[in-house]
Amino acid sequence: MQGLYGFDQSLQQWVQHPHIPLTSDDPKLPSTNDTSLPQQCHFISWNILFDYHHSSLIHTPQRYQSILHTLKSLLPDLICLQEVTVEFLHLLLNEIWLQDNNYYIIIKQSIINSKQNKSYGQLILMKNFRPRSFTICPLDVSETDDQATTTKKATKEIIIARFGLNARVTIDLVNLHLHSNRSHNSNEKRCQTLENLFRKLKTNNYMLIGDFNFGDYDLKEQNILEKYKGEIHDLWKDIYDIDEVRFY
């Protein structure tokens, strides 16, 4: 079932925790230590690649084990994964390092149903802390959509999880996976989604994390960032030097 899970050491199994949707979160209530980000926080975002296409060429069993080994070696504070299927989810939940390090995990229904529906989705994993509230809603959310009650059929969704930066200040972390070039008018869809999110989330501190699917130096993406440069800061430019790591 979709929701927030933690590993119960006494029961030796994953159990679902109750959660508050964003629309019911009372901003006057202070965040607690276990719903706040660490003062120094190590983030990882990783599109782990589903294998519905060209499965014989991408060596999924070996790739999945390598991904799990990397996560175990790093033990990040917060992990955002994209293109997760139920096969990977089962492998992940059986990892001892995940169970022993007090990780919480937000699981989407599209992952649980992936085998039947050929679907996939995102996960957010948090070490030693959990969201004070979160909502899973359609990717193409507009200013008129209600995150909690929308019934619009969505092929893609986002996870918006709220944490404390301190007792009084919060931040919304959004794990998203924008449309790939396999979609019709993909670039326009990506740009429109970003603009909708910028407008929808502007009243809060927030960070967009995930697979944006823009290529390096995409002109339309750069135009949007320029348009919102007074409000949006592109951390990717600070931490990733495209020219320095480009392969020849």
Alpha helices in the chain (DSSP H): 60-74, 86-93, 96-100, 109-112, 114-117, 186-201, 219-227, 235-239, 242-245
Q: What angle do CA 80, 145, 232 make, to 5 degrees?
A: 50
pLDDT of amino acid 53: 84
* pLDDT tens-place string over residues 42-83: 999 999 999 988 888 999 999 999 999 999 999 999 999 999
Tell me which H or E stretch contains 137.
strand 133-138
pLDDT of amino acid 143: 47
pLDDT of amino acid 140: 78
The span from the first CA to the last CA of the chain, in angstroms, equals 45
* pLDDT tens-place string over residues 186-235: 999 999 999 999 999 988 899 999 999 998 778 988 899 889 988 888 88
Q: Is residue 3 part of a domain?
A: no
Unique residue bearing structure tokens 């969704």 = 157
Q: Is residue 133 part of a domain?
A: yes
pLDDT of amino acid 124: 98
* pLDDT tens-place string over residues 120-175: 999 999 999 999 999 999 987 554 444 444 444 446 899 999 999 999 999 999 99
Dihedral of the alpha carbons of 180, 235, 49, 94, in degrees to the nearest 10? -140
pLDDT of amino acid 216: 77
Query: What is the spatial distance between Cα 133 and Cα 34, in angstroms, rounded to a whole number?
Result: 12
Asked if residue 25 has pLDDT above 60, the reply is: yes
Asked if 156 contacts 174 with a C-beta cutoff of 8 angstroms, the reply is no
Asked if residue 245 has pLDDT above 60, the reply is: no
Q: Is residue 17 part of a domain?
A: no
Q: Is residue 218 part of a domain?
A: yes
| CATH for 215 | 3.60.10.10
- Tell me which of 36-50, 90-104, 176-190, 234-248 is least confident: 234-248
Q: Is residue 8 part of a domain?
A: no
Q: Is residue 11 part of a domain?
A: no
Residue 144 vs residues 51, 90, 161, 196, 237: alpha-carbon distances, Å: 35, 37, 20, 10, 31
Query: What is the spatial distance between Cα 72 and Cα 200, in angstroms, rounded to a whole number?
Result: 35
For residue 148, give its domain range: 32-245
Q: Is residue 19 part of a domain?
A: no
Q: What angle do CA 72, 129, 174 make, to 5 degrees?
A: 85
Tokens of 50: 């589903």
Query: What is the spatial distance between Cα 179 and Cα 82, in angstroms, rounded to a whole number?
Result: 12
Total structural domains within the chain: 1
pLDDT of amino acid 145: 46
Handedness of CA 206, 209, 212, 215 (dihedral sign): positive
